[in-house]
Amino acid sequence: MNSSQLLGITTLAYLLSAMLYIAIFVFRAKKIDLIATLVTICAFLINTAGIGLRWYESYQAGIGYAPLSNMYESLVFFAWAIAIFYLGLEFKYKNRVLGAFSMPFACLSMAYASLSPQFGKEIKPLIPALQSNWLIAHVITCFVGYAAFAVASGMGIMYLIKDRKTPDDAGSLLASLPELKVIDDIIHKTLVFGFLWLSAGIITGAVWANAAWGTYWSWDPKETWSLITWFVYAATLHARFTRGWGGRRIAWLAIIGFLSVIFTYYGVNFLLSGLHSYGGS
């Protein structure tokens, strides 16, 4: 079995995980609580093994690099980061309904990586600009932040759904969601966590850029949009701390911020040419 096959299994495992959590939410199927968690842990371990095997295969091919260098590999790592972040969230808040709004992101990321004909899964020699340990630090920090923002947007959707609740809904599906102040607290803490990692990602990216291209900042479209995304979250957290914003406003901003992340991550690679254009392959 090679890494592509193992990561294909990961896609199915994350799909099963997402379906189980959605079933827990929709059907209030408490009996499968533990099964959902175990499936997610298994999926995460398979994901980890797939990344490790791809890393090993690169050495077998005489290249030897951390599998974080193209869109396919970054999507695989994105799913991995979402899964481990969610598992931490589930452990802290002891509420598996959160998985219905988090694990679909990991599933979609892996499905896109595995099924899209856009991305080659072959292991190829890296161009000189990618042959840097700063690339590893940059990708890891950015994608841990992106994973937190993905989960925050899921929590934002959850908040907006819960906020539609009327007294007649007390015993309904929405009653199984956490209280609004709990969801708001999760969104806030997740955004702070993601913002710190994104900030580290921009700094490590600047150091990498200086090593690769001789300048810390060149206003490449990816850099510009990374800064825009950073400002979106900075403004969100600033409004939270200074104006006391919360509730629906922060929920919407968490969703809008993630749309900016998606464009920075995906849209720039395919719609705007620049120094990061190789990342779309």
pLDDT of residue 124: 82
**pLDDT tens-place string over residues 94-142:** 999 999 999 999 999 999 999 988 777 788 887 777 778 888 999 999 9
**pLDDT tens-place string over residues 26-83:** 988 888 999 999 999 999 999 999 999 999 999 998 888 889 888 999 999 999 999 9
What does the pLDDT average to over 176-197?
95
Q: Across the chain, what does the average pLDDT equal?
A: 90
What does the pLDDT average to over 196-219?
91
pLDDT of residue 279: 53
DSSP letter, residue 233: H
Dihedral, CA atoms, 87, 158, 230, 228, nearest 10 degrees? 140
pLDDT of residue 275: 58
Find the length of the chain: 281
pLDDT of residue 165: 60
Residue identified by tokens 């929590």 is 155
The pLDDT of residue 91 is above 90: yes
pLDDT of residue 121: 79
Lowest-pLDDT range, 191-195, 214-218, 253-257? 214-218
Percent helix, strand, coil in the chain, to 5, is 80, 0, 20
